[in-house]
């Protein structure tokens, strides 16, 4: 985690200096505030924030929680505005010497352990002459007073200052699939090993959060989530909230692995949550395994959460046999489906669509359409699993009521909605109490 790595560097090296670079709106200030908050929470000392952008009152409005950790006297107004009511919180300077003297005085009198200057570009512009000397002198103040220093800059290009600081973090705001993606690139970090140079993050809830992923099928308990009148729960509370209650009864849900590099286990874990919740609610599950999966894998993965006797009673896995043809395959599938319906049970259909590549396209079209209609009529739920190589992918996308894509960004398993349209969410899992939960973190 980037914040933890920086905190470790602060502990190892007194007077650690960081240059935070990036265009406006990329999350630099939020990162600095989050770091400052973490230091104060852990009792790591006091912080001072020098702002050339906004006055202290505006700063508190933008980051209201920071008032609990940093007193107003430690937020210094360096805007050089003539219309400042509280002159005691204004950092006045005219040249290099007066700026360094003002900073040194504040650091000494407030016993500061971390100093943030936002933005360093504005300070340099105000002082004007001899920027190189200003850079060297500022870093010298930090090291001699053992004050950890963060300089925020909107210049992405390489500058001489880059060679002087201990750490450089470059913040990026980009678009993928017409959706926002935030990355921070660790260009250098003295004293601490760089685990990952490029990292995904979010500014959700006004905090910098490094988004990581640990999606894996593990043995755990899974909480039963009751279904609503018009919805089946996906088995993931966060996804239910995003979809307005869950998967609509009778819906065809399409889950596509957007990249071939997305591992089977990653997107099967998402489907598995729905499978398990159906079983917890004593409903039937029918599975045609996706390419790369088989009956043994499906049942063993479900057995991580559900007793084997319930699996034997409520789960049917029908492996596709190309030699028999698709009609025989679907007839066998429908026989099992009708047995469940004769017991007045709602069913979850999980269809591995890439497996259909081995059959005639027109036959696949006919049988798949028939299953979608049956599912809708009986108010059951159908989840199709698809890869980029799936035939008839365009037609299948049109059939879907809900269309979700699973992808991988900087090693993080992510998901986003095409129908309905959503932002990108980072996926992780954790045990909340005794139950396993899949968490969705919005990249905003």
Same fold, 2-210 and 231-442: yes
| CA nearest to 303, candidates 232, 217, 191 | 217
**67-79 pLDDT, tens digit each:** 777 877 788 877 6
Q: Where are the domains of the chain?
A: 2-210, 231-442
Residue 324 pLDDT grade (very low, low, confident, very high; cuts 50, 70, 90): confident
**169-222 pLDDT, tens digit each:** 999 999 998 999 999 999 999 988 888 899 999 999 999 999 998 888 888 889
Count CB-CB contacts under 10 A for residue 73: 14
Q: What is the rounded distance in angstroms from the CA atom of residue 22 to the CA atom of residue 402?
A: 36
In words, the CATH class of domain 231-442 is: alpha beta
**Predicted confidence (pLDDT) at residue 103 exceeds the cutoff of 90:** no
**Predicted confidence (pLDDT) at residue 92 exceeds the cutoff of 90:** no
Q: How far from the centroid of its chain's Cα atoms is residue 100's Cα?
A: 40
**Predicted confidence (pLDDT) at residue 85 exceeds the cutoff of 60:** no
Residue 52 pLDDT grade (very low, low, confident, very high; cuts 50, 70, 90): confident
287 versus 97: the higher-pLDDT residue is: 287
84-92 mean pLDDT: 57
**Residue 261: is it exposed, middle or buried by C-beta count within 10 angstroms (0-12/13-18/19+)?**
exposed
pLDDT score recorded for residue 9: 85
What pTM value is reported for the model? 0.90
403 versus 217: the higher-pLDDT residue is: 403
Q: Which of 187-201, 314-328, 375-389 is the least confident region?
A: 314-328
pLDDT score recorded for residue 72: 77
pLDDT score recorded for residue 316: 95
Q: Which of 15-24, 107-116, 228-237, 428-437 is the least confident region?
A: 107-116
Q: Which of 12-26, 43-57, 123-137, 326-340 is the least confident region?
A: 43-57
pLDDT score recorded for residue 217: 85
Provide, rounded to the nearest whole percent, the portion of the chain with pLDDT above 90: 54
Q: Which of 46-55, 87-96, 230-239 is the least confident region?
A: 87-96
**243-277 pLDDT, tens digit each:** 999 999 999 999 999 887 788 888 899 999 999 99
41-61 mean pLDDT: 78
2 versus 277: the higher-pLDDT residue is: 277
In words, the CATH class of domain 2-210 is: alpha beta
At 138, give phi and psi (nearest 5°): -65, -45
Residue 90 pLDDT grade (very low, low, confident, very high; cuts 50, 70, 90): low
**Mean residue pLDDT across the chain:** 89
SS3 content of the chain, % helix, strand, coil (to 5): 40, 25, 35
154-175 mean pLDDT: 94
Q: How far from the centroid of its chain's Cα atoms is residue 189's Cα?
A: 24
Q: What is the rounded distance in angstroms from the CA atom of residue 365 to the CA atom of residue 371?
A: 10
First to last CA, the chain: 18
Residue 110 pLDDT grade (very low, low, confident, very high; cuts 50, 70, 90): low
């Amino acid at each position: 985690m980037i914040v933890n790595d920086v905190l470790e560097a602060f502990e190892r090296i007194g007077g650690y200096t960081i240059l935070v670079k990036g265009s406006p709106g990329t999350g630099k200030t939020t990162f600095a505030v989050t770091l400052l908050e973490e230091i104060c929470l852990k009792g790591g000392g006091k912080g001072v924030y020098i702002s050339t952008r906004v006055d202290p009152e505006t700063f508190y409005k933008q980051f209201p929680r920071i008032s609990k950790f940093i007193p107003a006297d430690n937020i210094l107004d360096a805007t050089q505005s003539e219309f400042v009511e509280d002159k005691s919180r204004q950092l006045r300077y005219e040249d290099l010497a007066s700026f360094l003297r003002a900073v040194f005085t504040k650091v000494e009198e407030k016993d500061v352990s971390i100093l943030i200057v936002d933005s360093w570009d504005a300070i340099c512009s105000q002082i004007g002459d001899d920027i190189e000397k200003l850079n060297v002198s500022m870093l010298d103040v930090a090291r001699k007073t053992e004050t950890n220093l963060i300089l925020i800059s909107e210049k992405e290009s390489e500058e001489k200052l880059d060679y002087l600081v201990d750490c450089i973090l470059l913040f990026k705001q980009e678009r993928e699939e017409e959706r926002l993606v935030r990355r921070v690139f660790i260009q250098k970090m003295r004293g601490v090993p760089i685990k990952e140079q490029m990292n995904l993050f979010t500014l959700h809830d006004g905090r910098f959060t490094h988004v990581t992923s640990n999606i894996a099928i593990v043995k755990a308990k899974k909480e039963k989530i009751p279904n609503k009148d018009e919805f089946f729960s996906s088995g993931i509370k966060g996804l239910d909230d995003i979809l307005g209650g869950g998967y609509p009864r009778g819906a065809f849900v399409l889950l596509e692995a957007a990249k071939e590099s997305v591992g089977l286990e990653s997107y099967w874990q998402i489907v598995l949550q729905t499978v398990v919740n159906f079983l917890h609610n004593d409903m039937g599950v029918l599975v045609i395994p996706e390419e790369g999966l088989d009956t043994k894998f499906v049942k063993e993965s479900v057995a991580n959460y559900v007793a084997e006797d319930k699996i034997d009673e409520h789960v049917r896995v029908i492996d596709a046999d190309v030699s028999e043809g698709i009609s025989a395959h679907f007839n066998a599938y429908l026989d099992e489906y009708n047995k469940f319906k004769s017991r007045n049970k709602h069913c979850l259909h999980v269809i591995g669509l890439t497996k259909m590549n081995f059959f005639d396209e027109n036959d696949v079209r006919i049988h798949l359409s028939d299953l979608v209609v049956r599912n809708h009529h009986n108010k059951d739920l159908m989840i199709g699993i698809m890869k980029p190589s799936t035939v008839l992918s365009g037609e299948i996308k049109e059939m879907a009521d809900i269309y979700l894509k699973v992808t991988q960004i900087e090693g993080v398993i992510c998901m986003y909605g095409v129908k309905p349209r959503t932002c990108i969410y980072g996926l992780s899992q954790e045990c909340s109490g005794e139950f396993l939960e899949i968490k969705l973190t919005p990249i905003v």
